[in-house]
Amino acid sequence: MAIERTLSIIKPDATRRNLTGKINALFEGAGLRIVAQKRIRMTSEVAGKFYDVHRERSFFSSLCDFMCSGPVVVQVLEGENAIAHNREVMGATNPANAAPGTVRREFAESIEANSVHGSDSPENAAREIGFFFSEMEIVG
């Protein structure tokens, strides 16, 4: 299997509850390596650009407000099949449907405040990693 990189975000509901370390332990326990990481506060302009594909969806402005409501931790995860593998570790979008042991089942508060973001395709992973990180900041 190919070694891939994927963009992960630990969302404001999780940083507020001091869960960064516990979530990182789930990633590392699943074999994903954190090869870049920084804590930032998104502005509404940044959140709007990042979630541009969801602009027409009914929850777009609520999602952008939520993502700006506190610090987030943006990270690059690396590993075999990392994009799909991280989606498995995260669990379903709605924590009510997420499998036991997944980040969202263990920690998410709601379908919106669901603790983590993860890229869903190689194209989006490349775009999303480039959105937050320069090559120099990613050390595998």
Q: Of the ranges 1-9, 24-32, 75-83, 108-116, which one interacts with ligand GDP (CB under 6 A)?
A: 108-116
With CB under 6 A, what is the number of residues at the site for ligand GDP?
9
The interface mask with ligand GDP, positions 39-68, x = CB under 6 A, is: --------------------x--xx-----
Instruction: Outline where DSSP puts E strands in the chain.
Output: 3-10, 33-40, 72-80, 116-118
Question: Does 85 interact with ligand GDP (rule: CB under 6 A)?
Answer: no
CB atoms within 10 A of CB 74: 21
Please identify which residue in 34, 93, 124, 138 interacts with ligand GDP, judged by CB under 6 A.
93
Whether 113 and 13 have beta carbons less than 8 Å apart is answered as yes
Out of 30, 71, 109, 112, the residue judged to bind ligand GDP by CB under 6 A: 112
Which of the residues are catalytic?
A: 117
Interface residues toward ligand GDP, by CB under 6 A: 59, 62-63, 93, 111-112, 114, 117, 120
